Structure 1
Amino acid sequence: YCYSICEGRTLHTPKQKTALRKTGLLTSDPRLRDCVRQMRQYTRDTFGPVMMDKKLFKRCVGNNILLLTKAFRKKFIIPDFQKFTHQINRMYDSAQQQEGGQVADYIPQLAKFSPDLWGVSLCTIDGQRHSAGDTKVPFCLQSCVKPLEYAIAVHELGSEHVHNFVGKEPSGFKFNKLSLNEEDKPHNPMVNAGAIVISSLIKPNSNKAERFDYVMEFLKSMAGTEYVGFSNATFQSERETGDRNYAIGYYLKEKKCFPDNADMIAALDFYFQLCSIEVTCESGSVMAATLANGGICPITGERVLSAEAVRNTLSLMHSCGMYDFSGQFAFHVGLPAKSGVSGAVLLVVPNVMGMMCWSPPLDRLGNSVRGIHFCQDVVSYFNFHNYDNLRHFTKKHDPRRQSDDDPFDLQYLFHVLNLLCASRFALSAVDMERTDYDSRTALHIAAAEGQVEAVIFLTEVCKVNPYMKDRWGNTPLDDLRLDLLLSYCHCHLLADVSVEVSTWFFKFIKTRIVHMSHTCEHI
């Protein structure tokens, strides 16, 4: 697609959007905001679809060239996204046929949802998106908020402090059991007792409104600013019917499980509020993808959670996230997940994607019937289980990018260097010393092409070794063009870079004086 534009062809903007969707990118992606805005502006100005030529294309997508080229060259984590989503849709249809389970009714607001509702959304670590079914209907997180509030607490306070008040072991009991471990702590943050204590740790010196706003802003950042709301009706229902949670709160208070000066009733109210936070499958999948991506939101690039917080959260989700079904889920599915009595299942495939499944009918253990069926189908077909990649193991389908060992496209890299600022490019995690078939680095190409800014960027910012040899034994120094040297010196740039880079250029001068007398005369 990108290259057809560069060759001078023209494309209809609706076709461009279709081509974009095939890669998994949505036009609502925050990273494409400027590009989409400019395209829409041109459409309005011309009162209809726009035929886009090369000049207009560059103007619209210049700031997004790295993302778009990666998408259309199939360099995302799921290269063949259409084939992958076709299988996801098939699994969605299969799960839809499951008719067992009962909608939770012990919280009156939950009982109002139709048992026919069923939605699945996914978001990869590259921001590829796909949805099937009722994915725009808001529902409450309920227990799915537990790993999120735990992650926030660890991000803010650190693991050591948080685990002074709560354990790490599966309880073996129901999620709302009045039970503590041998140290008189809640067994883990994924049961009600643990989540109530965690609620008392977040911003303990702030008032109720500030604490709630603090968590809401965190969750919105995890969701890439997509929908995160609040159901006051569910909150009131929780308070009015939460006798068991009040009993747990008083038991925790008796055993001195809360930090000093903590208000138990305030902690319970805060916990009820957090359970009543609303998401959709679409926004929930971005939250899950933020966990899959090590705490960085895939569609904004913002670091939301520390690596420590994410690692510990995924570990506890894996061992304790699915109520009394946690052991079986870890055995059969082998992925971190958390369920809620609203019918939600938050599933994380580390380093690949996050998913949010939602269907209100629950099994006897409080897990979504359709959600569990879908998760099991996904892992039965794809090799996402933690231990599917053991040697000599039966191979399943792997939709992921196969290898990063392909020869590096240095011409593409060079094009990017001339379009993007150094800070944005450095964040793309590209190994700048990778070589092509001829063992030539980007610095070889930059020197040969006479790109001053690229050479400075590669040597100064990326610290590329200027003495790496290609298969003919040439270093970037040997490829450095004379006009680059003259331009570089003419612009008086030597004073702005390090001694090492300046020395390198002076060595070039010396080499050329010795071997090229006509060059010496020209200088």
Structure 2
Amino acid sequence: MKYLHTALQSGDTIDRDCFKKCVCENIVLVGRALKNKFVIPEWQFFCSVIKDLYTSAKSNSGGKVANYIPQLSRFSPDLWGVAVCSIDGQRYMIGDTNVPFCLQSCSKALTYAVGTTEMGSEYVHKYIGQEPSGRSFNELSLDHNKKPHNPMINAGGILMASMMKPNLSPADRFDYIMKYLQRLAGGEFVGFSNATSDSDNFRYLSERDTADRNFALAYYMRENNCFPPGAAAALQETLEHYFQLCSIEVTCESGSVMAATLANGGICPTTGERVLDPDAVRNTLSLMHSCGMYDYSGHFAFKVGLPAKSGVSGAILLVVPNVCGIMVWSPALDNLGNSCRGVQFCTELVDKFNFHNYDNLLHQTSQKLDPRRRRSDVKGREVVNLLFSAANGDVTAIRRYAVQGMNMSQADYDGRTALHLGAAEGHLDVVMFLIERCNVNPWPRDRWGFTPLDDAKRFDHKDVADYLESKITDKAHFKGDGGPEKT
């Protein structure tokens, strides 16, 4: 596709074989495009909103870059990137989306998804809990069953690392995870940061206190018999593996594909390959929702309502189930270890779109945008629902539409309004509500020049006709609206 893009930009032509190769490599995307079945049909509009949110968050100068890992402290706080990948494979990137950075704690969500796919949730949760800890991510504590509270904190991440292919050599174990993550990313960039991880005797986190805390967690868990049989004996090897997983590098672009694979139930949207088990994805998203944002997890679930996992590199892996995956990255962190710009972006995204887990409750009055629908379709559906309710005399539904802020004067392609339909069917309560409570124009004309009063008279609804005539005698009040003299 890169060659195709270059050729089109330069004005060159491509032969049949080249075009066929480009199409075959992206057959899922091309197929959906030809059928007009994208999950986000108005992609350009959606991207324009993402650009606005990116620009808004870019002005956020709060937070500080993590300094307890020297390699992370070298990143500029001005770096800021957002990449989106839909479950159809549509892509949008803005900002510093090609700069590699470490996954850090974002790796916990991914390795948990891989581990439960390979070993099953029942086996994994024999050793790791599922509850938010309510404490710091590196707290020296276990739950009431003497297990790490969940796989999204350090204790759970260390235990998860101990369970991943323990019979393989250290190099093969790491290579196994790397290949899995590359499949999650659709073959896009997944690397390894030697600068972050390469130190003497496990000084992967560079500052001794941080490494000591993880060693203490590991020994504390061994003392409480938390590890699977045989894993406790290889404690140093387990910690090395854990630190290596935190040092895996991605870019916003490749990270967004990983997030989209989770959003797509474990199928990579760019390759069509089934990478993760659906149940493993469901469990991963559940834990990300409740435990993925350090000590901000509860607030994030309340405000944003989407599964997410953050890391001290400044990354946030955000999943909109059945829609898209998003990777945002900005190194400046708040006092809870989350990216300041990233949190702002996620919050404003849900303020704009109805992505929150509970935005689609019945009788929801929110006027957020739904990018899964065409704006023209939404408009047409509004008109149909409004006119249908008026024709059936459903005042309750009409009252709900009015509360939602719907334009109660809107008409269909024939110029027929809810008032026309209510009058034609003799529903006096509908007509009264529209005029008195919604203040609609009493004499709108359809394409044939008929007003609601004409309809009421034609179908012999005297009570409606009398009411309408009483409401259109005040010419001064309705000056400029067509006037009763035209009826």
For the criterion TM > 0.5, the same-fold answer is yes
Q: Match for residue 266 of structure 1?
A: 237
Counterpart Cα distance in 2 of 1:285 and 1:325: 22
For 2:332 and 2:213, how far apart are their aligned partners in 1? 22
CA gap 1:362/1:71 in 2 versus in 1, 3 angstroms: same
The residue aligned with 2:369 is 397
1:319 aligns with 2:290: yes
Distance in 2 separating the partners of 1:209 and 1:215? 10
Q: Name the residue aligned to 2:204.
A: 238
Please say which structure displays the higher CA radius of gyration. Answer: 2
Tell me if structure 2 keeps the 8 A contact 1:322–1:329. yes
State the 1:259 CA deviation: 1.1
* Residue 214 (structure 1) aligned with residue 176 (structure 2): yes
Aligned partner letter, 2:276: L
SS at match of 2:361: coil
Q: Considering only aligned residues, what root-mean-square deviation do their CA atoms show, in Å?
A: 2.3
TM-score with structure 1 setting the length: 0.66
DSSP 3-state at the match of 2:89? coil
Residue 293 of structure 1, CA deviation: 0.3
Residue 304 of structure 1: aligned partner: 275
SS in 2 for 1:238: coil
The alignment partner of 1:203 has SS state of coil
CA contact (8 A) 2:69 2:205 kept: no
Pair 147,56 (structure 1): closer, same or farther in 2 beyond 3 Å = closer
3-state SS of paired residue (1:114): coil
Kept after mapping to 1: 8 A contact 2:78/2:330: yes
2:345 corresponds to which letter in structure 1? Answer: F
Give the Å deviation of 1:110.
0.8
Which structure 2 residues correspond to residues 87-486 of structure 1 after superposition, within 5 A?
A: 87-236=49-198, 237-241=203-207, 242-262=211-231, 263-393=234-364, 394-401=366-373
Distance, in Å, in 1 between the alignment partners of 2:315 and 2:328 is 6
Distance 1:371 1:298 in 2: 24
Contact 1:75–1:401 (CA<8 Å) still a contact in 2?
Answer: no
Q: Does 1:49 align with 2:21?
A: no
- Separation (CA, whole Å) in 2 of partners of 1:56 and 1:265: 53
Residue 239 (structure 1) shift? 4.9
Q: Residues 59, 96 of structure 1: CA spacing in aligned structure 2 closer, same or farther, 3 A cutoff?
A: closer
Distance 1:372 1:199 in 2: 28
Over 3 Å counting, the alpha-carbon distance change for 1:103 and 1:60 in structure 2 is closer
Contact 1:169–1:188 (8 Å) recurs in 2: yes
* 2:28–2:272 contact (8 Å) kept in structure 1: no
Alpha-carbon shift at residue 68 of structure 1 (Å): 2.4
Cα separation, partners in 2 of 1:76 and 1:180, compared to 1, 3 Å = same
Runs of 4+ in 1 over 3 A off after TM superposition: 55-67
Question: CA–CA distance in 1 between the matches of 2:28 and 2:69?
Answer: 48
For 2:310, give the aligned amino acid. Answer: S
Identity %: 60
**Do the aligned residues in 2 keep the contact of 1:109 with 1:234 (CA within 8 Å)?**
yes
Q: Distance in 2 between matches of 1:239 and 1:359?
A: 20
Shift in Å, 1:249: 1.0
Report the alpha carbon displacement of residue 107 of structure 1 after superposing the two structures with TM. Answer: 1.2
**Per the alignment, in what secondary structure is the counterpart of residue 355 of structure 1?**
strand
SS at match of 2:105: helix
Provide the aligned length of Structure 1 versus Structure 2: 364
Structure 1 counterpart SS, 2:70: coil
Any conservation in 2 of the 1:239–1:269 contact (CA below 8 Å)? no
Structure 1 residues 91 and 51 mapped into 2: Cα distance closer, same or farther (>3 Å)? same
2:362 partner letter: R
Give the 3 Å change call, closer, same or farther, for CA 328–239 of structure 1 in structure 2: closer
TM-fit CA distance, 1:265: 1.0
**Equivalent residue letter for 2:368:** K
> Equivalents in 2 of 1:374, 1:366: separation in Å?
16
Shift in Å, 1:67: 4.0
Q: Are the equivalent residues in 1 in contact too, given 2:87–2:263 (CA < 8 A)? A: yes
Aligned to 2:286, the other structure's residue is in SS state helix
Report how far residue 240 of structure 1 moved: 4.2
Give 3-state SS (helix, strand or coil) of 2:73's partner: helix
Deviates more, 1:61-70 or 1:388-397: 61-70
1:213-255 per-residue CA deviation (whole Å, 9 max, x = no partner) reads: 0000000000000000000110135254311111111111111
Matches within 5 A, 1:11-30: 27-28=1-2
Answer yes or no: is 1:84 the counterpart of 2:46. yes
Residues 178-230 of structure 1: CA distance to partner in whole angstroms, max 9, x if unpaired? 01001110000000000000000000111100100000000000000000000
Q: How far 1:101 moved relative to its partner?
A: 0.4
CA distance in 1, matches of 2:17, 2:166: 53
For 1:80 and 1:309, the matched residues in 2 are separated by 31
Amino acid across the alignment from 1:94: S
Native 8 Å contact 1:171 1:188 kept in 2: yes
**Structure 1: 5+ residue stretches without partners:** 1-26, 406-523
Partner of 1:483: none
Do the aligned partners of 2:290 and 2:301 also contact (CA within 8 Å) in 1?
Answer: yes
Contact 1:74 1:80 in 2 (8 A): no
SS in 2 for 1:109: helix
Distance change in 2, residues 1:57/1:139 (3 Å): closer
- 1:395 deviates by 3.1
Amino acid in structure 2 at the alignment position of 1:216: M
Q: TM-score, normalised by structure 2?
A: 0.71
| Residues 1:256 and 1:395: Cα distance change in structure 2 (over 3 Å) | same
Once the two structures are TM-superposed, the CA of residue 48 in structure 1 deviates from its matched residue by 6.5
Offset from partner CA, 1:43-84 (integer Å, 9 cap, x none): 9xxx971288xx889856775677425315532111111110
Counterpart Cα distance in 2 of 1:66 and 1:267: 40
SS where residue 254 of structure 2 aligns?
helix
Give, in whole Å, the separation in 2 of the partners of 1:363 and 1:148.
23
Structure 2 distance, partners of 1:143, 1:319, is 15
